[in-house]
Amino acid sequence: MTLTRLAFLSLKSRALTVGLTIFAVALSVVLFLGVEKLRTGARASFTDTISGTDLIMGARSGSVQLLLYSVFRIGNATNNVTWESYSDIAARPEIDWAVPISLGDSHRQFRVMGTTVEYFQRYRYRGGRALAFAQGRAFEDLFDAVVGAEVAAQLGYRTGDPIVVAHGLASFSEHKDTPFRISGVLEKTGTPVDRTVIVGLEAIEAIHVDWQSGGRKSGAATPVEALRAMDLQPKAITAAMLGVKSKLQIFTAQRAINQYREEPLLAVLPGVALQELWSIVGIAEQALIAVSAMVVVTAVLGLSVMILSGLHARRREMAILRAMGAGPTTVMGLLMTEAVLMACLGAALGLVMLYLGLFVLQPWLDSAYGLFIPVTPPSLREMLLLCAVVAAAAVVSLLPALRAYRMSLADGMMVKM
């Protein structure tokens, strides 16, 4: 009988305690690999939030801050970019296309973004996917609005419904004199677009005609017909998405924008700014990985304790093996083989539980949090982590194995029944 078969039969005879130990190891593997999947998935989701955009331009601040407020709708701009400067940059020979963005207002805690119809054509996510409409179309009238999937789902909106934009964020001052009508509802993207109300740049100017310095001017509101007849070209924007004609010209355009003399501007590459963001949150990531690793260590130590605590009950078994000609190293190898088998079964069970969980939770995570976790085969890093769990089990089994090694034949035979 081989040592592996003997170890398997020994584990089978103690099915309950062995099964609980394997399950504990499996849960720790699920947590450890689950954290790794979520970490890499979160990075991929953030990276896939915007693709196909070569540069993001805004007022000079920090690159991470510019990325957060222009793409993720987090925070606010320190300053605006004048329309003249934007037009000057957009007309540069390196620039292929430019999409302006104006932020600052809100609708029931959702951000309102002013832009052009070209935004729906140029914005890309998840490696090049374009925005699509679940209902309706892009805005055509001055007071048309397009809402993201999450806005529509939470507020129960459909095309044709009226909405009123509030002045600023978390504000009780509303532009009630200039209501919008929903012309389209976007399909789910898993990006901040889902939580955004999108209107035209001219509409942002129109609703602020009667406002000055954050407050409404006294007197009667300007009629909607008069607003439509006005020149509503924006005076300033918050940021702009830029595409260059050749990838070789990205750094040339970036340098020209950063050195622009008319006003202080900043241009960032979305991918580089994301790397800066990850370097900031890297400490939290490492702490989360450390906690999950400690759970694995605890489970593996529990495996060792289980083997060690069962040695007293198995002293006669060890003695019989010795009497049948098994040397001390064989007994030692038996216990180490049992530990490795339990670790392998626990790792395999944990992997199965992890992928079952991913299949079940993937749609929910995508719809609820915009976090898309791809169900892909285990990576080389993940397989190495599983091998590390098995190797750790082999190492911690040395203590009970050495204990069994030192048991004498006479000691085993003298155990009272």
Query: Do residues 303 and 190 share a domain?
Result: no
> At which residue do the structure tokens 């970019």 appear?
81
Minimal CA–CA distance to 56: which of 75, 71, 76, 44?
71
Look at residue 33 and tell me if it is in a domain. yes
Contact indicator for 142, 201 with CB cutoff of 8 Å: no
pLDDT at position 116:
96
pLDDT tens column, 214-247: 666 666 678 888 888 888 999 999 999 999 999 9
Percent of the chain with pLDDT over 70: 87
Higher-pLDDT residue of 376, 131: 131
Query: Do residues 159 and 238 share a domain?
Result: yes
pLDDT higher than 90, residue 279: no
Query: Do residues 30 and 124 share a domain?
Result: no
Over range 29-55, report the average pLDDT: 84
Q: Which two tokens stand for residue 213?
A: 């310095």
Percent of the chain with pLDDT over 90: 41
Contact indicator for 119, 71 with CB cutoff of 8 Å: no
pLDDT higher than 50, residue 181: yes
Look at residue 299 and tell me if it is in a domain. yes
pLDDT higher than 50, residue 415: no
Minimal CA–CA distance to 389: which of 350, 332, 360, 353?
350
Query: Do residues 62 and 22 share a domain?
Result: no
| CA separation for the pair 171, 165 (Å, rounded) | 10
Contact indicator for 350, 25 with CB cutoff of 8 Å: yes
For residue 127, the 8-state DSSP code is T
Query: Do residues 211 and 147 share a domain?
Result: yes
pLDDT higher than 50, residue 412: no
pLDDT at position 246:
93
Query: Do residues 394 and 300 share a domain?
Result: yes
Final residue before a domain boundary, out of 246, 268, 290:
268
pLDDT tens column, 81-126: 999 999 999 999 999 999 999 998 999 889 999 999 999 999 998 8
Q: Which two tokens stand for residue 14?
A: 């103690």
Cross-strand partners of 234: none
Look at residue 112 and tell me if it is in a domain. yes
pLDDT at position 408:
45
pLDDT at position 371:
67
Query: Do residues 133 and 75 share a domain?
Result: yes
For residue 195, the 8-state DSSP code is G
pLDDT at position 171:
60
For residue 253, what are the domain limits?
Answer: 55-268
Q: At what angle do helices 15-47 and 270-309 cross, to 10 degrees?
A: 170
pLDDT at position 410:
47
pLDDT higher than 70, residue 409: no
Over range 329-346, report the average pLDDT: 83
Contact indicator for 126, 48 with CB cutoff of 8 Å: yes
Look at residue 16 and tell me if it is in a domain. yes
Distances (CA, A) of 65 to 71, 177, 212, 280: 10, 33, 26, 12
Look at residue 273 and tell me if it is in a domain. no
Under the banding of pLDDT at 50, 70 and 90, the label for residue 344 is very high
pLDDT higher than 80, residue 187: yes
Final residue before a domain boundary, out of 243, 268, 293:
268
What mean pLDDT is reported for the chain?
A: 85
Grouping H, G, I as helix, E, B as strand and the rest as coil, residue 94 is coil
Query: Do residues 122 and 250 share a domain?
Result: yes
Query: Do residues 321 and 177 share a domain?
Result: no
Final residue before a domain boundary, out of 217, 240, 268:
268
Over range 380-406, report the average pLDDT: 83
Q: Which two tokens stand for residue 129?
A: 């996917």
Look at residue 118 and tell me if it is in a domain. yes
Query: Do residues 78 and 142 share a domain?
Result: yes
Query: Do residues 354 and 261 share a domain?
Result: no
pLDDT tens column, 357-380: 988 887 777 666 666 677 888 888
Looking at the structure of the chain, the number of domains it has is 2
Look at residue 288 and tell me if it is in a domain. yes
Under the banding of pLDDT at 50, 70 and 90, the label for residue 330 is confident
Look at residue 343 and tell me if it is in a domain. yes
Query: Do residues 243 and 378 share a domain?
Result: no
